[in-house]
């Protein structure tokens, strides 16, 4: 049972749903891809009970992890938030690729360089990045690598 819980936790809720729908029982040693369907990407994925929902100054934030690697250094998922502006004065801490499905973000690096990302575009933020994050709201797919597993 402990192996089953670890497997379910490591592979994410999408794999659990796939197992439930197929009716097949799979051993913990058989990892599966974590799919985000068109409906999930349109927002249905946030209705999953494993979605982390928080309230912030810009409104409600939804975050779901679709996969966390067995070594705990890599994860992927989806995130949705309203208007945000915050200064990142300490290094970002993780290497993160983001693909924006809706909305966008303006990233102003500490040296003044401005990078604007809109829906349909992607960006990778290195773990050493500092600057200002500003958005009117967005929904994105995220992929994070963290050498020590923090920030996932």
Q: Domains of the chain, with CATH numbers?
A: 1-35 (no CATH), 37-145 (2.60.120.10)
Q: What is the DSSP letter of 151?
A: T
β-strand pairing of 131-145 with 95-109: antiparallel
Model confidence pLDDT, tens digit, residues 31-61? 889 999 999 999 999 998 999 999 987 789 9
Structure tokens at 108: 């102003």
Model confidence pLDDT, tens digit, residues 66-102? 999 999 999 999 999 999 999 999 999 999 999 999 9
Cα angle: 110, vertex 125, 112; to 5 degrees: 20
**CB of 46 closer than 8 Å to CB of 78:** yes
pTM, rounded to two decimals: 0.77
């Amino acid at each position: 049972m402990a192996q089953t819980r670890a497997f379910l936790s490591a592979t994410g809720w999408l794999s659990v749903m796939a197992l439930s729908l197929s009716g097949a029982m799979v051993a913990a040693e058989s990892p599966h891809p974590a799919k985000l369907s068109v409906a999930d990407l349109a927002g249905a994925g946030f209705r999953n009970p494993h979605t982390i929902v928080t309230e912030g100054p810009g409104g409600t934030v939804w975050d779901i992890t679709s996969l966390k690697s067995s070594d705990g250094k890599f994860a992927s998922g989806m995130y949705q938030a309203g208007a945000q502006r915050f200064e990142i004065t300490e290094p970002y801490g993780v290497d993160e690729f983001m693909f924006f499905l809706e909305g966008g973000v303006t990233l102003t690096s500490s040296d003044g360089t401005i990078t604007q990302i809109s829906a349909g575009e992607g960006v990778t933020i290195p773990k050493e990045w500092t600057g200002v994050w500003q958005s009117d709201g967005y929904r994105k797919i995220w992929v994070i690598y963290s050498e020590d597993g923090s920030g996932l």
